[in-house]
Structure formats: structure tokens, C-alpha cells
Amino acid sequence: MRKFLFVLLCAFSFSPMAFSAPGAVRCGKFVDVRSGRTLTDQVIVFDDNGMIIAVGPVASTKLPAGVFPIDLSNATCLPGLIDVHTHLTFDPTNNGYAGLGVSVPREAVTGVKNARRTLRAGFTSVRNVGASGYTDIALRDGINAGDVEGPRMRASGPPLSITGGHCDDNLLPFEFHHKAEGVADGPWAVRAKVRETVKYGADVIKICASGGVLSKGDQPGTPQYTLEEMTAVAEEAHKLGRKVAAHAHGTQSIKDAIRAGIDSIEHSSLIDDEGIALAKQHGTYLVFDIYNDDFILQEGAKAGMLPESIEKEKKIGRLQRENFRHAFQSGTKMAFGTDSGVYPHGDNAKQFAKMVEWGMKPVDAIQAATINAADLLGWADMVGALETGHYADVIAVTGDPTSDARVLESVKFVMKGGSVVRNDYAAKPAAN
């Protein structure tokens, strides 16, 4: 009886991951993202922890005993994609004043839905930069525990903002005496806020260095945090082992953030030649969300965006795309980030075609969403490439993404850590 109870207890105590088995994936074509070359007839072998133990030609790569590879011989395999600028707990239907009716628990539930959509679209890792009430921290923890289906996450919790800044809540009148939980003014106050967000689980610090498009009462090009304040943020975050992402549309704010030691500039819309030179000198990543303009101008009014936000986007959208092309041609480091949540989650890959339209080759855009993004996340040894020692995060598409980036909008196979999330290539049972 004791032995029976012990076995029964084990069955209910251990997560399904404890019973994972070694496996393999056979790829008709295989994109080596480091070299940019496409190889043929390759196999990826992974162990029972979902880590890759071998990659090579089918004819010469030995499989563990009893392992029969998943057949993707008619598909092209790539590493799981990475989006370094997401808002999984936000929806584009909750813009402007509609957002005031969304509670923190409701935002967390929204995150569960969007995490699944994002993963099934082929994005196996994300960096979430901004959420209310630490909802993204809870979402990350739920995914890590296996309770929720979603990508690996770096999460920031509430973004830091000056009083009345882009990441404050500016919709309510004075008598409500309301401000966002990330508001902090002055060098010592921002240091304290960094400590607080880390205390409650933040993997990365998000700050709003300039005005923004979707906020009320400010302009994207207007500086908000000062150089002194951003230097304090960077010093405190780095001391605590966290990187910093700065929302910065404005020319001066971009340069101040780089000089302060910020790790990535989000949006980067009005960057100038001096800002590009500084980014190259400091090794700062630039993250341009250049698909957003299409959605905001076409769907923003129906999604409840403020009229002033749409007018701001009309002034800044094309400039951002032109500066994206200039920064890329100048040799800056770039990572793939989309600002998902402004547009519907799961459409992240629509940005690839825009990156190609504005100066990149398809393989450049793929590298921005794999090896470059993994480097920015601090996960270069874990994700972003299909190599020994990395997680078996594998996606597959029909067609050649290195010649037509749009095929990445139709991912048909997703594996995260050796577990199949989606397989549209699997044989369907015949109808009776």
C-alpha cells in the first residue's frame, strides 16, 4: 500500500515536463541564421530537457535509440522568433478612455490569451516592456510554471515615467489625484523605483525618456527624463543585474539615453546622425516598431485611439521608417521589436515585410529577430539559433523566408523547448 501511494503521489506531483523524452525534427530546409545560408535535409536532435544535443545532415547525424524525427521534410525550419518589444497584457481595443475600465485582474487574463497567440505565431521568446500592476510578471511566472501557454518572457512590470509623462496616466482630471505606479521624479526617486520594480520581479527596467504617440497631452519629440535621471536608472539597474529599455522618440532623448548607458532605444523615431554615431560607439541596440504606422492610421480611430494620437502618428510614422533605413545602412545594432498590443497580438511577423521594404534583406530581418534579439535579452547562449546547447525552439514555414519575408506571417509548426505547440503539417485523421 505504501508503494502504491508513493507511485500515485509521484504521478500527481511532477509536471508533464518531468516525463519529456528525447526527440528530433527533420527539416527539408534549414536556415542557419548566423551565416545566413539555407541548408538542406538537416536534423535537429534534443534531449529530455528540450535542449539541442546535435544538428547536422540527416545522413550523418546519429539519433538516440527509439527516436523517430518529426517529419518537416517539405518545410523550412528556423529558430523560434523573438520580439523584444511586446505588451502581452494590452489589447488594441483598450485605447484612450476605454483603458480606464480595465482592471489589473482583467489585464492579466488578457495576457493569457495574447501569450498563446504570440507563441502560436512562432514567437517563442519575448521581452515585455510595460504592464500595469505587475501583470506581466504574473504571466511570466505562470508560463514558467507550465500553467499558461506562452513564450519565454523577460518582463519589466510598470514602466518608469516622469509626472505627466508618456507612461503616466493622464486621462483623469486633478480631483482623482491619480498617477501610474511607475512615476518617479529625480535621480534618487528613480533609483528607488528601480529597486522597487526589481523587488517585485522585474527582469528588465523600462523607462519613458520622451513623449509618445498614444499618450494624452505630450509630444513624441519632447524630452522627459533628464540625462541625470537616466544615468541614475542605468547605474542602479546594471548594479542589480538588469538591462534598461528606453522609450525614446525624440532626438535629444535618444542621445541622452545612449550617453546614460541605456541598453536599448525603443521606437528611435527621430534619431539623427549624431544619435546613430553614439549608438554605434556605445553598442546600443535600436528597436524600430515600423509596422505600427499602418495599423494606427488604418484602424486607430475604430480602436478608440485619441484623435490627437492619430495626428501625432501622421507626423512621425514616415520619419521613423526613413530613419530606420538610415540607421541600418549606417551599421547600428538592431533588434526586432513591434510594440504588439498597439496592433493585434499574433500579427508580429507583419513587421518583417516592412523591414525589407525599408532597406533590409530578408535574412537581415530574420537575424534581428533571432541572434540579435537573443543578444539584447541576454539569452544568446539559450535561444535565437538552432545550435547545440540551445533550447529546441523550432518553427517551420512553407516557402523560403530568406527570399520572401512574408512567409513568416504563416508559421505552420512551433516547438518550444522540445514540446510541440503547433503542427499544421501533421496528418489529419480521415473523415468518417
DSSP type of residue 18: G
* Mean pLDDT score of the chain: 93
Q: With bands split at pLDDT 50, 70 and 90, how would you rate the model's confidence at 96?
A: confident
Say yes or no to pLDDT of 99 above 80: yes
pLDDT given at position 230 = 98
Whole-number Å distance between alpha carbons of 374 and 218: 33
| Cell reading at 145 | 510554471
**Residue 105 — left, alpha, or beta (φ > 0 → left; ψ -120 to 50 → alpha)?**
alpha
pLDDT given at position 428 = 65
DSSP three-state, residue 322: helix
Instruction: Decide: 286 and 330 in contact? Cβ < 8 Å.
Output: no
CA 180, distance to chain mean position in Å, is: 23
Helix orientation angle between 135-144 and 104-120, rounded to the nearest 10 degrees: 50
pLDDT given at position 2 = 44
Helix orientation angle between 187-199 and 227-239, rounded to the nearest 10 degrees: 30
Any bridge partners for residue 82, and if so which? 125
> Average pLDDT, stretch 38-64?
96
The percent of residues in the chain predicted with pLDDT above 70, rounded, is 94
Residue with cell 523560403: 400
DSSP string of 136-183? HHHHHHHHHTTSS---EEEE--SPBB-TTSTTS--SS-GGG----TTB
DSSP string of 189-241? HHHHHHHHHHHTT-SEEEEE-B--SSSSS--TTSB-S-HHHHHHHHHHHHHTT
Say yes or no to pLDDT of 173 above 90: no
Out of 2-16, 167-181, 280-294, least confident range: 2-16
pLDDT given at position 429 = 57
Instruction: Decide: 425 and 396 in contact? Cβ < 8 Å.
Output: yes
pLDDT given at position 20 = 60
pLDDT given at position 219 = 93
How do strand 70-79 and strand 81-86 relate by DSSP bridges? unpaired
DSSP type of residue 343: S
> Average pLDDT, stretch 105-132?
97
Taking the model in full, what pTM does it have? 0.93
pLDDT given at position 337 = 98
Say yes or no to pLDDT of 13 above 90: no
Element (H, E) at 53: strand 52-57
Residue-wise pLDDT tens digits, 181-196: 999 999 999 999 999 9
Whole-number Å distance between alpha carbons of 261 and 119: 32
Neighbours of 217 (CB within 10 A): 13
Report the greatest alpha carbon distance in the chain.
75
- Higher pLDDT, residue 11 or 189: 189
Instruction: Decide: 140 and 155 in contact? Cβ < 8 Å.
Output: yes
Residue-wise pLDDT tens digits, 270-287: 999 999 999 999 999 999
Residue-wise pLDDT tens digits, 305-331: 999 999 999 999 999 999 999 999 999
Residue-wise pLDDT tens digits, 219-252: 999 999 999 999 999 999 999 999 999 999 999 9
pLDDT given at position 100 = 85
> Average pLDDT, stretch 2-6?
40
| Cell reading at 319 | 520619419
> Average pLDDT, stretch 7-31?
64
Alpha-carbon dihedral angle through residues 107, 113, 114, 116, given to the nearest 10 degrees: 150
Residue-wise pLDDT tens digits, 327-358: 999 999 999 999 999 999 999 999 999 999 99
DSSP three-state, residue 98: helix
Whole-number Å distance between alpha carbons of 265 and 399: 33
pLDDT given at position 431 = 57
Say yes or no to pLDDT of 15 above 80: no
Domains and CATH numbers, the chain: 12-80+384-423 (2.30.40.10), 82-348 (3.20.20.140)
Instruction: Decide: 333 and 286 in contact? Cβ < 8 Å.
Output: yes
pLDDT given at position 6 = 37
Say yes or no to pLDDT of 12 above 70: no
Whole-number Å distance between alpha carbons of 123 and 421: 11
> Average pLDDT, stretch 69-76?
97
Say yes or no to pLDDT of 10 above 50: no
